[in-house]
A and B are shown apart, each in its own frame.
Chain A
Amino acid sequence: MSSEWIPSLVHFFGMMLLVASFGIIAAPQIMASVRAYAVHSFLLAVITVLVALAGHVEHLLISAALTVVLKTVVIPRVFSKMIHRLGVRREVESYANVPFLLLISVLLLFVSFYVTSGLRGLEPVFSKEFVSIAIFTVFFGMLVMISVKKAMTQVLGLLLIENGLFLLGITMTFGMPLLVELGISFDVLVAVFIMGIFMLKIRGAFEGIDIDDLTELKG
């Protein structure tokens, strides 16, 4: 692969990343959302590899490998196990309908590009569009967290925010030091396991994992 191809390829995968994001919110079932997240993470890993090749930053390859193993294999596995144990195969219940959420997502995308275009002093090492895409992914993760009623999708939203930050890290600075990246990945993995255990506890205490039911504590 010659190096001139890399920027256009990265842009192509960046667009695919956006499509995968929309897939998460448009998916009819939770498992489909999880698959869309796996695709999202895989594309993230591909972009990481391309950035690593373009910038000759070898330690990013390790981060990419870790992303593939952790976020496209292990975490979706954990999710599908959880879905089986919790017995939630039903449709995703949102507070708003899918077209409306997609409209908001597009709006968020515009906002992300708008706010980053005005920033002075931010000259990323790789490509300016990716700062916008990364910030969009963070916003989008928050949208996923607040728009869907299941506890599981809150975790998915959190993971999306983390993906967005990872993308920001690799495109702005060629990634954080490897030690820090490893630590963050470890934290994410542990967080997913612990949140999984708590989802079982919520199911045990509330007979469901709808966030609407969590209204015991006030004042």
Chain B
Amino acid sequence: MTIGYLLAIPVVSAFCCLASGTKAFVRFFFVAGAVLLAAAGEYFVFTRAGQGNLFAFGGNLFMDPLGALFAALIVALGLLSAVYAGGYLFEEGPSAIPLRKLRRYGFFFHLFLFTMLLTVFANNLGIMWISIEGTTLASAFLVNIDDKKSSVEAAWKYLILCSVGIALALFGIILVYYSAALGVSGGGNYLLNWTFLAGRAKELNPQVMRLAFVFILVGYGTKAGLAPFHSWLPDAHSQAPSPVSALLSGVLLSCATLGILRFHILTKAATESPFSGHLLIFFGVLSVAVAVPFILDQKDYKRLFAYSSVEHMGLVAAGLGFGGAWGLYGALLHVVNHAFGKSLLFFCSGHLLHQFGTKEIGKIRGILKVNPLLGGAFFAGIMAITGMPPFNIFVSKFFILCGGFAGGHFFACGILLFLLVFIFAGFLRHACNMVFGIPEKTVRAERNRVMDGVLLAGVFFLVLLGVWVPGPLHRLILGAVSVAGGTTG
């Protein structure tokens, strides 16, 4: 099996969803497509990851351990999200979504998965840019599903801000291409291929690469939700349906971070200076700092989770900037952990919205009494996302900070620890008010076994990754660390 077949699965599923005549068919193709993609994807990634780089389409696409790690994450989250959406969006009753919209939803959902996979498999940096812009275009329709004022506004801001950001990234790519065309002998059509550039990074013009990295960081940073370019993020995440919020937060932000990481590796090798790393640390710490006041004083729980994503992307960026084996391993593990933790919280928010009918934190009391399973999963998710042991995010945060201390970034680490205390306090206050206490009014208590199962699966991953990183995943991350550290290329 090759990359091409894997990429074909979501495209076929997308068109099957679009062509279906009844809701049952849309639902079938929607969920079955994601199941097939996840099964094929995980099998492909874990069987082929250790065997060196795998190229496709004339070297324009490839899979290295770094891309493989992100691809494994995309298909896994795609599966969870599709299964959850299969219960969430296809509900019967007075608020049922019409067939026409469901078809479109299924189509863009799978197209979104396709563009994200294309992003992580792209070797040609131009194609990576095209597919990142593609993720914006495909997911804009997913953000706006109900045509309400607020969701249309969120989708519009998302489209415009991310498109401008991505345009700046294109500026950076032109500069990289220029630097390659000028400095590197030979190459021809391979001049934009990452593998080619990474091998010849010493020949790239360091001045131009510095300039290019700044543009890339601002451009892809917009998409990755790094402050101060994050202003679209809370709007889009809070207005999108919960399964989409989970995908946006869990993997879309990480895909853009992968884009930054690829250029960070090139810039570090070309300039032989910690310039790009320092920029990443700066914007990482800034993102965590910007998120703090919004987390402490937040009234809408979906926006709360969205700001928490800004914080976590900041941590990942800081970890990548710290570098070293600890920092890189921590940052990449954090991407995995954050994806599972945040998606669990967004799935919980879907349950909450359904049962309590409000997005306001202040109006929800006593989740544990109303629905013990939801209350437990929600509280576990909150504990995990704030970095409490025995959950997974504790481990990766610990590694990132270890990387920082090992690299001698005491000041940055000190600020991060200080800020994390505030974030923990803010989350705990909101969560205690919501989870405990006595519910104010009677609420709808319908159950959907499949959707509850998704929550349980999420909690399972949080605890599992907290106490033990499975062998294949560990090897995959180690491979990715060696790519990111520049020891193989």
Interface residues of A (CB under 8 A from B): 119-125, 138, 142, 145, 151, 154, 158, 161-162, 165, 168-169, 172-173, 176-177, 179-180, 183-184, 186-187, 190-191, 194-195, 198, 201-202, 204-206, 214-217, 219
Contact = CB atoms under 8 A, between A and B. Distances in A.
Interface in B234-277: 234-235, 238-239
Given A172-B174, A187-B134, A195 B159 contact: yes
Interface stretch (B164-172, B457-465, B469-477): B164-172
A168 B176 CA distance: 12
A187 B130 contact: yes
A191 B133 contact: yes
A205 B239 CA distance: 15
Contact of A177 (B144, B150, B156, B189): B189
A162 B141 CA distance: 23
B60 A190 contact: no
Nearest to B182: A123
B16 interface: no
A190 B138 CA distance: 10
Contacts of A145: 160, 164
Interface residues of B, number: 51
B192 interface: yes
A17 B164 CA distance: 21
B419 interface: no
Given A161-B167, A198-B159, A183 B147 contact: no
Given A161-B167, A205-B147, A176 B126 contact: yes
B239 A217 contact: yes
A194 B153 CA distance: 14
Contacts of A217: 150, 153-154, 157, 234-235, 238-239
Contacts of B358: none
A173 B170 CA distance: 14
A191 B141 CA distance: 12
B81 interface: no
A201 B159 contact: no
Interface string B283-308: 00000000000100011100100000
B156, B159, B303: most-surrounded residue (chain A CB, <10 A): B156
Contacts of B148: 205
Given A158-B160, A214-B153, A183 B239 contact: no
Contacts of B60: 179
B126 A191 contact: no
A198 B149 CA distance: 12
Contact of A205 (B137, B149, B238, B299): B149
B177 A120 contact: no
27 contacts: A120-B207, A121-B205, A121-B207, A138-B167, A145-B164, A151-B156, A154-B160, A158-B163, A168-B174, A176-B126, A176-B192, A177-B124, A179-B127, A180-B126, A180-B129, A180-B130, A180-B192, A187-B130, A190-B137, A194-B137, A194-B141, A201-B152, A202-B153, A214-B157, A216-B153, A217-B157, A217-B238
